[in-house]
Structure 1
Amino acid sequence: MRPALLALAGAALVGAALWLAWPQDDVPPAANTAHATASTPAPVAGRPWLDAWPPAGQGAAAAQAPLSAARSMAQTRAYGDPEAPPIAVDVPARVGPTAEELADPKAYQAFEARQNAQVMAAYVKAVDEELPRLREDIARGRSMGIAADKIAKAEEKARGLESMRAQLLKDHPAIGK
């Protein structure tokens, strides 16, 4: 065990020596601030590529564009986009099993059956709402001259939705009520 510890310490020492000897990307401060104006912030260590933009002679307006864009992106990442629409989630909160249902296996099975029935009923409802839209899209695609194979693919999807809906209603008639 002692040789392994010595090898590990030696590797750490060699790594530290290499890190200290590694050339640094030190750019003189004068080179970083050659394009700076009164509204440009002081250069930040570690980003000379951003502070050196734009190349010399392209003017103050060009110098402001990347910096303001970078600030905008940083603010958006940190605080969100104020112009983005809110995310609307109209999914009702999931109701978990009660303590009695958790304690009794048969009561929990009934709870699971109710949950599964709700999922199947939601599927049937979604098919009822979306199938007419899919049929309209297929008709619009035909009138626009969409390729026959793509129309056939969409029709197959519509038939699959209808088939699944019919099978669910046949197997579980209570969900259609």
Structure 2
Amino acid sequence: MKPALMTLAGALTAAGALWLAWPQARDAPAPVPASASAAPGGPAAGRSWLDAWPPAEQATPAGNAPLAAAHSLAQTRLHGDPQAPPIAQESATRESAALARPTAAELADPQAYQAFEARQNAQVLAAYIKAVDDELPRLRDDIARGRAMGIAADKVARAEEKARGLDSMRAQLIKDHPALGR
């Protein structure tokens, strides 16, 4: 066969497959009334054909994996993923330097604002010291476990250097700000 005939045969085969796969009128979702889509903000405003597909009365065939996957995707899009973990909400009463805001009086007075900034910085440094106190023992345990498991010496040395750096930074902060030490 000549290349042109092969291309024509391939195009006709693809067109025939698309024609057979194209949904027929009985499989198509019900049309949206013009009044619903014409009203701005109406129930059909901004909605796509996927919202109505597949129809509820059409059962997903077990042997048709693409249709089952598409149905699952459509259901997840409409109703959410039932296997997803819940989203944790932040507590409104969280004591955090990031959530503190200066008062109007602090904003109006430069000395009061400097005091506000000093408190904010002290809170950040105290949080760093607390995080190092909490995590340094875990890091040292991980280093010991890695050494026992035969992790490469250069990787163990790098982790030990990080632990020494954290400890050194903590000691320097306590030296520079004695009020932060316990």
Give TM class, smaller chain. Answer: 0.5 to 0.7
1:33 aligns with 2:23: yes
The structure with the greater share of residues assigned to helix is 1
What is the TM-score when the length of structure 1 is the normalising length? 0.63
Which of the residues 84, 100, 108 maps onto 1:103? 108
- CA contact under 8 A between 1:100 and 1:107: conserved in structure 2? yes
Residue 136 of structure 1 pairs with residue 137 of structure 2: no
Bigger relative contact order (CA 8 A; separation at least 6): 1
Percent sequence identity is 53
- Other-structure match for 2:128: 123
Taking the aligned partners of 1:160 and 1:81, their CA distance within structure 2 comes to 44
Q: Check whether the contact 1:33–1:43 (CA below 8 A) recurs between aligned residues.
A: no
Inter-partner Cα distance in structure 2 for 1:138 and 1:28: 60
Residue 86 of structure 1 aligns to a residue whose secondary structure is coil
Give the TM-score normalised by the residue count of structure 2.
Answer: 0.61
Q: Which residue of 2 aligns with 1:149?
A: 154
In structure 2, list runs of 5 or more residues that go unmatched: 1-14, 32-47, 55-59
2:71 partner SS: helix
Describe the shift of the 1:174–1:41 C-alpha distance in structure 2 as closer, same or farther (beyond 3 A). farther
> Are 1:64 and 2:54 counterparts?
no
Structure 1 residue runs of 5 or longer lacking an equivalent are: 1-24, 52-58
Number of residue pairs aligned between Structure 1 and Structure 2:
137
Change in CA separation of 1:41 and 1:158 when aligned onto 2, cut-off 3 Å:
farther
Q: Counterpart of 1:145 in structure 2: which amino acid?
A: G
RMSD: 3.7
Distance across 1 between alignment mates of 2:123 and 2:20: 68
Structure 1 99/142 Cα, relative in aligned 2: closer, same or farther at 3 Å? same
Aligned position for 1:84: 85
